[in-house]
């Protein structure tokens, strides 16, 4: 399973990229609205930090024509842009249209909450499909279970769209969607940081350094 960073913050993206574990970035209008940089500059900055990895940026229009226009403008900003299109009839129309055009804009269908929505998105030509597992859990359903079903159905049907487990809220979500077969998990920076630590790791380092200090404190490596 690949990791994307779910963030529009340049510092977070730069730090996570330096760990060598991030293959792409996903943003959304809420994440964008937390940042201060002018929109185009911010998008260019993000795109330059991920070594050509896909950067999802979402349209704001709610009808297909507007989505297609915005998508083409976004795709012109950098070659690694993937346009995020909200699920629904208008969204599907836009994805289909964008896939047929000469420019072949890659789309990530977002706000997906059922296997049927994912099946439609795949047929319309989505490169990526984002089930929002945290928001599924919020309403008392099973977000990880949704990803599991989606992965199974896509395998049975031979569909090639990549499933991005999104709306990840904690580290346990990450290993559960990995076990469920998600192709990608897009994780907030705070969750990525939590994934890297363990109290026993910290305690182990402390003890090694203390033991070294007992007899070799005058030496360094």
Residue 166 per-residue DSSP state? B
Among 22, 166, 174, 182, binds ligand E4P (CB under 6 A): 166
Among 80, 117, 161, 167, binds ligand E4P (CB under 6 A): 167
Alpha-carbon distance values, 169 to 37, 66, 172 (Å): 26, 32, 8
In the complex with ligand E4P, the residue whose CB is nearer, 6 or 203, is 6
In the complex with ligand E4P, the residue whose CB is nearer, 26 or 80, is 26
Distance CA 148, CA 167 (A): 15
Q: Among residue numbers 179 through 218, which ones bind ligand E4P (CB under 6 A)?
A: 186
Q: Among residue numbers 105 through 124, which ones bind ligand E4P (CB under 6 A)?
A: 110
User: CB under 6 A: which stretch of 73-81, 99-107, 126-134, 155-163 binds ligand E4P?
Assistant: 126-134
Catalytic residue among 11, 84, 93, 214: 84
Rg (CA), the chain: 20
134 binds ligand E4P (CB under 6 A): yes
In the complex with ligand E4P, the residue whose CB is nearer, 157 or 190, is 190
9 binds ligand E4P (CB under 6 A): no
Q: Among residue numbers 73 through 102, which ones bind ligand E4P (CB under 6 A)?
A: none
Task: Characterize the bridge pairing of strands 81-86 and 2-6.
Answer: unpaired
CB of 186 to ligand E4P, least distance (A): 5
β partners of residue 129: 109, 163
The DSSP string of 181-216 is: T-SEEEE-HHHHHHHH--HHHHHHHHHHHHHHHHHH
Closest among 127, 148, 146 to 135, alpha carbons compared: 146
Closest among 78, 38, 34 to 56, alpha carbons compared: 78
Among all residues, which ones are annotated catalytic? 84
**Contact positions toward ligand E4P, by CB under 6 A?**
6, 26, 28, 110, 130, 132, 134-135, 166-167, 186
């Amino acid at each position: 399973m690949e990791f994307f960073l779910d963030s529009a913050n340049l510092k977070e993206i730069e730090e996570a990229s330096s760990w060598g574990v991030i293959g792409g970035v996903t943003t959304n209008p809420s994440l964008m609205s937390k940042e201060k940089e002018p929109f185009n500059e911010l998008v260019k900055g993000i795109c330059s930090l991920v070594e050509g990895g896909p950067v999802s940026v979402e349209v704001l229009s709610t009808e297909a024509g507007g989505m297609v226009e915005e998508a083409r403008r976004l795709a012109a900003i950098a070659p690694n842009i993937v346009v995020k299109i909200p699920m629904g009839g208008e969204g599907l129309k836009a994805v289909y249209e964008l896939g047929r055009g000469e420019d072949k804009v890659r789309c990530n269908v977002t706000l997906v909450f059922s296997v049927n929505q994912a099946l439609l998105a795949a047929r319309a030509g989505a490169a990526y499909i984002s089930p929002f597992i945290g928001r599924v859990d919020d309403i008392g359903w099973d977000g990880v279970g949704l990803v599991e079903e989606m992965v199974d159905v896509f395998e049975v049907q031979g569909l090639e769209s990549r499933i991005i487990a999104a709306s990840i809220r904690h580290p346990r979500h990450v290993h559960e969607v990995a076990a469920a077969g998600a192709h990608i998990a897009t994780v907030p920076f705070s969750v990525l940081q939590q994934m890297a630590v363990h109290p026993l790791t910290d305690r182990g380092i402390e003890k090694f350094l203390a033991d070294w200090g007992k007899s070799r404190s005058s030496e360094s490596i």
